[in-house]
Structure 1
Amino acid sequence: MLKKDSLIKGTLILTAAALTARLLGLFQRIPLDYMLGPDGQAAFNAANTIYLLLLTIATGGIPVTISKMISQRYALGRPDEAKRIYKAALLFGAVTGLLLAVAMFGFAPLYGRISKEPYTVLSLQAIAPALLLFPVIAMTRGYFQGRQIMAAGGISQIVEQILRIIGGIGLALIVLGWGWGDEWGAAAIAIGSVFGSIGALSVMLWFGRKLKKQDHSERSGSPNTAIKAEGSQLPFRSIYREIFRMSIPAVVTAMTIQFVYFFDMSLFNRLTQSFYSKELADIVLANYSTKAMALAGIPPILAIALGASIIPVISSAYSLKNMSEVQRQSSLVMRIVCFTGVPVALLLTVAAYSVTGLLFKTPSGSGAVALLTAGTIFQITMMTTNSILYGLDNPKLPMNHTFIGLGLKVIASILLAPLLGVYGLIIGSSICFIVVTLLNVRKINNEVKLNVLGRRWLPYMAAVVVPALAGWGAEYGMLAVTETWANKLSYFAAAAVTALVVGGLYVILLAALRVVTPEDVRSFPGPLRKPLTLILKPFYRKAN
């Protein structure tokens, strides 16, 4: 029997699934560096980026909207309307998926000419069929979330990633073993998304069959079975109007990261042709898309997951006009992302050379890894302030701010890429994240005054800068000491020592400089409060 999940349990399930899916996605990128050359890597990464962008445009925000609509109808005792909404959502997903799949397949040759990367054509056409199913899967996940059955979406995400990796990498090994070359190898890995979509849909169909039987059993056992529902005649037009009104702002903000990567991948050769030779550009693009983009996805995971769990509290307090609670929770969520997101980004920035060398074939491209992961600090704050504005019932503001940020990203990249190469593109992305964050914070402060760290900003900066410098020195020293070791062992030792130095010093300075106070720790969510209490307790005992 399928049971409804509580808010806490549902949040934990979705967070665990998202963490697992993101980490599995990283493991799909690592073999690319060993299996494919620069052209093959660029081909797969371009196809995957465009696929994710189109998927975000087609579904971003809509499943969440559907879950709210479904939940509301069941709460009001109108399950017939909920099923009508679900039917409309499935129809929208099926039509959208078909149109996107056909468009992606048909326009692949044109994209190859625009990007000056002809290798991408086959990969784009290989991944296109996945778009047939994923919009429908996204709508189904929204329906199950509305029914408070979070396990369906969580399990389907994990199965999707596992089959994506096994299917794509396995097929690529066969194709490359036959000697078909990197172009076909990249396309084979891209087909992994098709395997993933089939697996995810199979999971959702299994849950759907169980839920249908359960609903039928509950209706049969109800004392009102004599009353037969005629079904809702709610017009699809009204349903779509409600869906799009609520979800369009979320779609725009959700596509920010994917649009940034799509822009960089698509115009890399054109914007950097005066800075790199064609051969060097292919190598730099492969490093950027395979290594930097993959590692840059790590720092936001924990911070966003922890921050997102507090957003419903902000929304609830705002609906009751309890502005003091809104201020407290908004400040708290920003404090959490500062304390949790920064150290991970800091470590990956400082130890970029060792981490890149450890995970991938060579440490080449570690400069791009360092700069892009450093920029994720602003990506985290952008996404968190977006969520706060949603909690304040103002979704159009982050949408408008996103348009401004993306416009500046395009302008900065066009100006800087010919002068700085890949670093110009990354700086342009960071400008986008910073500007959106500042615009969001200004609007939040119009409602409630954020008090993130107050007078503790200078000690906090010291707690960031000192571990960064110490970590850089530790990595440099360990690489020198282990120079005669095997490469992977040397990189592992350097990364491990750097992690201990950066992490240890960061925690010690947060406590010693009183950046994190006992009051802060007590206000954090349980999963974060318990480990921090254990770590920081000795320092506070000494201080007292």
Structure 2
Amino acid sequence: MSSKLLRGTFILTFGMVLSKLIGLFYVIPFEALVGAKGSELYQYAYIPYTLFISLATGGLPLAVSKFVSKYNALEEYAVGQRLFKSGLKIMMVTGFAAFVLMYISSPSIASFVTVSKSQNFTVEDITTVMRAVSFALILVPFMSLIRGYFQGHQSMGPTAVSQVVEQAVRIIVLLGGVFIVMKVMDGSLVTAISIATFAATAGAVGSLAVLLWYWKKRKDDIADLLVKDKGAVQISLPQIYKEILISSIPFVFVGIAMPLFQWVDTLTFNRAMANIGQAKMSGNALGILNFSAQKLVIIPMTLATAFAMSIVPTVTKAFIENRMDTFSNQLNQAFQILMFLTLPAVIGMSILAKPVYTAFYGYDALGASVLETYAPAAILFALFSVTAAVLQGINQQKFTVLSLLTGILIKLALNIPMIEMFHTEGSIYATTIGYLAACLINMYIITYFTGYKYRMVIQRTLLMAAFTAGMALVVGGAEWLLAPVLNPENRMQSVLFTVICAGLGAIVYFILSVKSGLAIQLFGRRIERLQQKLRLKF
């Protein structure tokens, strides 16, 4: 891999991680300002917005990145330029169309999720916040395509910087606006959340300004490339868009997998809770499920998936070159790294659900209970992402549509009866079963087309499970010893409680994995160097 590509990958990864961290920690002051009711109202708007964004972009920004890179490698720079200019027009049209559609359909969507007068918010309230966020749809697709174009030129800086600026501007406007409305003007919660959702538009403006600045700065370099264009390839835009349509649909589905599952909850949760006489508390529970707890659950999933996904390009290359031994070895490593990082993280989060939830949002018995049940599902979220990426690598990405639709149908079928039986946790069980089915289908398809066997992954996962059990005993023991000293229901004390217990658990898991040789087999010399620096002897 070239040093330019390595540097670009690092910059893009760093920008994504920093952006996600900003997006994670803003929830602490946000929750303090608006409470659980505010989080409930916020997620009513943001989940459909995420789906509309995916429909508006249709995978085109990623496809532009891929095709620009492909034709640049052939020195056919004009082809990529034509695609980019055409794509900008399409994104302007689809973005505006998505805005109009969301704006017009907001009352209908709001009326569907509002099933009882005892709920916290009316149809008008939900419609207002949905319409506030819909304006961002005009800009985000257009902005995303420019990012894709820069990435196609192996220039990751504009994307990374614009992502961080977008997130920073969004959070500043969100928190500043909410604070002014709630604390200075003593305004309504609906007005505050409307500003919070409209902050997505402000973030998009900030990001677009950064991208346009980069465009002006690099305009001459792009013009120089066009002078060097060979002009030997004659391909029409309809031909390119046909290929894009075929290849991008699976990416769109994978990208909206989690929002789709959340959307099922948005449409059915309140109705199911009303059926069992729990309509009054359903909104608060849904806010915890789809916003507060979900933000925490995806932390271990994001980190583990990032590590595992870094191996996928190597897996793809080995498959294309028909080096099946290398393919199996690399896939073994990807799955093992995924389980190695995710398994202890989610079990630890589940055990420490009360102090972890309290540290972020303040004590809430339902929140702690939901997080305790929800955390293990992150294993399946991460596994779905990695298996879908592998299917892409072996050119069988169409099956991700099949697996995801199967999972969604299972979620739809089970959600209401599960919620009626187990209340809020029932939704988590339905999500877990749906994701499990999707993962099993993906895994079977990988075996069917490659002959890959999961024997080693299963064996190593059992070993990791044993280490995790040892870690869990230590964490549980530390929790029991600290309970009389530190109150996990106190916000400040819960932070110290979590750090001590999680730290002890991490040390135990690290020692067990290094002493057994597992960590060295997965991460190689990096672990050996760390061991030497820390002067650890086992």
TM-score by length of 1: 0.90
TM-aligned CA deviation for residue 450 of structure 1 = 3.5
1:209 to 216, 232, 243: 216
Q: Quick check: 1:168 aligned with 2:174?
A: yes
Contact 1:34 1:360 in 2 (8 A): yes
Which residue of structure 2 lines up, in the alignment, with residue 190 of structure 1?
197
TM-aligned CA deviation for residue 315 of structure 1 = 1.3
TM-aligned CA deviation for residue 312 of structure 1 = 1.2
In the TM superposition, 1:68-107 aligns within 5 A as 68-107=66-105
TM-aligned CA deviation for residue 502 of structure 1 = 1.7
Q: Summarize deviations over 1:244-298 as a string: whole Å, max 9, x none.
A: 1110111112211111112212322112213453322222222223320111121
Which residue of structure 1 lines up, in the alignment, with residue 25 of structure 2?
27
Against the structure 1 CA distance between its residues 230 and 385, is the aligned structure 2 distance closer, same or farther, given a 3 Å change threshold? closer
Q: Summarize deviations over 1:123-144 as a string: whole Å, max 9, x none.
A: 1111111110111111111111
Task: Give the whole-Å Cα distance in 2 for the aligned partners of 1:408 and 1:536.
Answer: 51
TM-aligned CA deviation for residue 229 of structure 1 = 9.0
Contact 1:378 1:437 in 2 (8 A): yes
Q: Quick check: 1:129 aligned with 2:135?
A: yes
Task: Give the whole-Å Cα distance in 2 for the aligned partners of 1:133 and 1:188.
Answer: 17
Contact 2:250 2:401 in 1 (8 A): yes
3-state DSSP of counterpart to 2:216? helix
3-state DSSP of counterpart to 1:260? helix
TM-aligned CA deviation for residue 435 of structure 1 = 1.5
Task: Give the whole-Å Cα distance in 1 for the aligned partners of 2:528 and 2:168.
Answer: 32
TM-aligned CA deviation for residue 61 of structure 1 = 3.6
In the TM superposition, 1:29-68 aligns within 5 A as 29-59=27-57, 61-68=59-66
Against the structure 1 CA distance between its residues 231 and 141, is the aligned structure 2 distance closer, same or farther, given a 3 Å change threshold? farther
Against the structure 1 CA distance between its residues 31 and 489, is the aligned structure 2 distance closer, same or farther, given a 3 Å change threshold? closer
TM-aligned CA deviation for residue 218 of structure 1 = 6.0
1:140 to 143, 146, 149: 146
Contact 2:318 2:327 in 1 (8 A): yes
Against the structure 1 CA distance between its residues 530 and 201, is the aligned structure 2 distance closer, same or farther, given a 3 Å change threshold? farther
Contact 2:24 2:295 in 1 (8 A): yes
TM-aligned CA deviation for residue 81 of structure 1 = 0.8
Q: Quick check: 1:245 aligned with 2:235?
A: no
2:109 to 104, 111, 134: 111
CA RMSD of aligned residues (A): 2.5
Q: Quick check: 1:490 aligned with 2:490?
A: no
In the TM superposition, 1:319-334 aligns within 5 A as 319-334=320-335
Task: Give the whole-Å Cα distance in 1 for the aligned partners of 2:394 and 2:211.
Answer: 33
3-state DSSP of counterpart to 1:148? coil
In the TM superposition, 1:292-307 aligns within 5 A as 292-307=293-308
Against the structure 1 CA distance between its residues 520 and 250, is the aligned structure 2 distance closer, same or farther, given a 3 Å change threshold? same
Which residue of structure 2 lines up, in the alignment, with residue 159 of structure 1?
165
Against the structure 1 CA distance between its residues 63 and 258, is the aligned structure 2 distance closer, same or farther, given a 3 Å change threshold? same
Against the structure 1 CA distance between its residues 476 and 185, is the aligned structure 2 distance closer, same or farther, given a 3 Å change threshold? farther
Which residue of structure 2 lines up, in the alignment, with residue 472 of structure 1?
476
Task: Give the whole-Å Cα distance in 1 for the aligned partners of 2:531 and 2:413.
Answer: 42
Which residue of structure 2 lines up, in the alignment, with residue 255 of structure 1?
256
TM-aligned CA deviation for residue 404 of structure 1 = 0.9
Which residue of structure 1 lines up, in the alignment, with residue 117 of structure 2?
none
3-state DSSP of counterpart to 1:36? helix
Task: Give the whole-Å Cα distance in 1 for the aligned partners of 2:493 and 2:311.
Answer: 41
Contact 1:346 1:468 in 2 (8 A): yes
TM-aligned CA deviation for residue 30 of structure 1 = 2.3
Which residue of structure 2 lines up, in the alignment, with residue 437 of structure 1?
439
Letter of the aligned partner of 2:537 in structure 1?
Answer: P
Contact 1:5 1:149 in 2 (8 A): no
3-state DSSP of counterpart to 1:386? helix
TM-aligned CA deviation for residue 461 of structure 1 = 1.7
TM-aligned CA deviation for residue 388 of structure 1 = 1.3
Against the structure 1 CA distance between its residues 233 and 15, is the aligned structure 2 distance closer, same or farther, given a 3 Å change threshold? same
Against the structure 1 CA distance between its residues 518 and 239, is the aligned structure 2 distance closer, same or farther, given a 3 Å change threshold? closer
Letter of the aligned partner of 2:144 in structure 1?
Answer: A
Task: Give the whole-Å Cα distance in 1 for the aligned partners of 2:49 and 2:3.
Answer: 31
Contact 1:66 1:142 in 2 (8 A): yes
2:502 to 499, 508, 522: 499
Contact 2:467 2:513 in 1 (8 A): yes
Against the structure 1 CA distance between its residues 63 and 212, is the aligned structure 2 distance closer, same or farther, given a 3 Å change threshold? same
Letter of the aligned partner of 1:328 in structure 2?
Answer: N
Against the structure 1 CA distance between its residues 195 and 45, is the aligned structure 2 distance closer, same or farther, given a 3 Å change threshold? same
Which residue of structure 2 lines up, in the alignment, with residue 269 of structure 1?
270
Letter of the aligned partner of 2:53 in structure 1?
Answer: L
- State the identity as a percent: 25
3-state DSSP of counterpart to 1:393? coil
Which residue of structure 1 lines up, in the alignment, with residue 352 of structure 2?
351
Letter of the aligned partner of 2:274 in structure 1?
Answer: Q
| Number of residue pairs matched by the alignment | 525
Against the structure 1 CA distance between its residues 186 and 531, is the aligned structure 2 distance closer, same or farther, given a 3 Å change threshold? farther
Letter of the aligned partner of 1:18 in structure 2?
Answer: M
Contact 2:178 2:196 in 1 (8 A): yes
Letter of the aligned partner of 1:494 in structure 2?
Answer: F
Against the structure 1 CA distance between its residues 33 and 110, is the aligned structure 2 distance closer, same or farther, given a 3 Å change threshold? same
Q: Summarize deviations over 1:209-266 as a string: whole Å, max 9, x none.
A: 12212233566xx7x7xxx999998543223212111101111122111111122123
Q: Quick check: 1:384 aligned with 2:380?
A: no
3-state DSSP of counterpart to 1:179? coil
Contact 1:18 1:157 in 2 (8 A): yes
Contact 1:67 1:142 in 2 (8 A): yes
Contact 1:61 1:247 in 2 (8 A): yes
3-state DSSP of counterpart to 1:401? helix
Contact 2:300 2:378 in 1 (8 A): yes
TM-aligned CA deviation for residue 31 of structure 1 = 2.5
Task: Give the whole-Å Cα distance in 2 for the aligned partners of 1:300 and 1:443.
Answer: 23
Letter of the aligned partner of 2:497 in structure 1?
Answer: A
TM-aligned CA deviation for residue 183 of structure 1 = 0.7
Task: Give the whole-Å Cα distance in 1 for the aligned partners of 2:369 and 2:379.
Answer: 17
Which residue of structure 2 lines up, in the alignment, with residue 542 of structure 1?
none
TM-aligned CA deviation for residue 323 of structure 1 = 0.9
